[in-house]
Chain A
Amino acid sequence: MLLIRCPYCEEERPELEFRNAGEAHIARPTNIAAESEDDFEKFFFIRSNPKGVIYERWRHIHGCARFFNAVRDTVTDKFVMTYKAGEPRPAKLPGASK
């Protein structure tokens, strides 16, 4: 079983307590009514779906119930790091090879 570090519980917890909540750092447009249809489509539907490092929102739903952000490798399924919701995308990942 994967162990995921919850930044609010400050320890690693079993994956069964967590739920994925989609890609992170997708800013909602400030004036959504003025968005063109193409821009809205990009915001609403289009996700990066990379092979490799992805930034995701996760929720410790059966624990502290908080949303937080996690950096995960989609190839190895390894969690690189996690950080609290609202914090900026980390500039440097620990143990990053590239």
Chain B
Amino acid sequence: MAKAAAKTKAADASAAVERRPALAGRAVSAPGVKVEILPPAERISLRAPEASVAALSKALGVTLPSKPKTSAAKGGRTALWLGPDEWLVIDDAGNDPLADCAKVSALHSAVGISHRNVAISVAGPAAAVTVNSGCPQDLSLEAFPVGAASRTILGKSEIVLLRTAEDTFRVECWRSFSDYVFTLLSEAASDAAN
């Protein structure tokens, strides 16, 4: 809880400092698919035993999914199932999920990873083909429906993949891998149409 308070203060102090997200604004369009860097978002890595899930869900305002490869979204906040006691919570609306978790007294571990990850959108009819160029998972709609989320790999890099629409994926990768991931997806995008 002290950590969350410290973070808020740090954010105030550095408000005047320009933030330069990795690869900001980069986008590549190819026939049938567009790959672009998404704007920054608030993210936490959340680990909690089953007994704490209800309290955390209430505090976050989104029910933490308990089924493998699923996600839940509400009010600009998405909770992705990563493991039996592990979730990735992404907030696009600018609210800090870390502050919400700090109010929960039930046992849990919430770590802010907003700046660790970079999100890349892959959208268009050839989106699945593009992601599949480096990701070995079955991305057909039967196996990976809208809302499905999974940690997996893309080429040599670990990613978290979320299907936000039938033809749109959100690829979350570590900041230091983002150049590799973006370049791989860009190359794949130009190949996907062929």
Contact = CB atoms under 8 A, between A and B. Distances in A.
B86 A17 contact: no
Interface string B85-129: 010000000000000000000000000000000000000000000
A17 B153 contact: yes
Contacts of B137: 13-14
Contacts of A62: 151-153, 158
B136 A63 contact: no
A1 interface: yes
B83 A66 contact: yes
Interface string B43-64: 0000000000000000000000
Q: Chain A interface: which size bin?
A: 10 to 19
B150 interface: yes
B84 interface: yes
Interface string A15-45: 0110000000000000000000000000000
Contacts of B151: 62-65
A63 B150 contact: yes
A87 interface: no
A17 B83 contact: no
Interface of B: 68-69, 82-84, 86, 136-137, 150-153, 158
Interface of A: 1, 8-11, 13-14, 16-17, 62-66
